[in-house]
Copies of this chain bind each other. A is one copy, B any other.
């Protein structure tokens, strides 16, 4: 089964109280050098059939009409390979 990920983030011009709270807390915890933090949502969808263009178009529509409210949020649809952690450089917990 293939995994499609939809990342939903608040638009850059929209206030992100959650990201702000995290950012403000970091120096107090001793973490310096983080200039900005934005917090969003990550949806991991397990797709039953083939992830072809038609399926992706449907997921795109789903993201646009349901997973995100495009008045305030942007989203990105990504296909992940069978195993997670396909990003360029990844570190999981031990």
Q: Does B87 contact A29, Cβ atoms closer than 8 Å?
A: no
A14 within 8 A of B: no
Kindly list chain B residues whose C-beta atoms are within 8 Å of the C-beta of A9.
42, 44
| Complex Cα gap A50–B34 (Å) | 11
SS of A interface (majority): mixed
A28-80 with Cβ < 8 A to chain B: 29, 31, 33-49, 55-56, 58-62, 64-68, 70, 74-80
Q: How many angstroms from the CA of A14 to the CA of B64 in the assembled complex? A: 28
Interface residues of A (CB under 8 A from B): 1, 5, 7-9, 19, 22, 25-26, 29, 31, 33-49, 55-56, 58-62, 64-68, 70, 74-81, 84-93
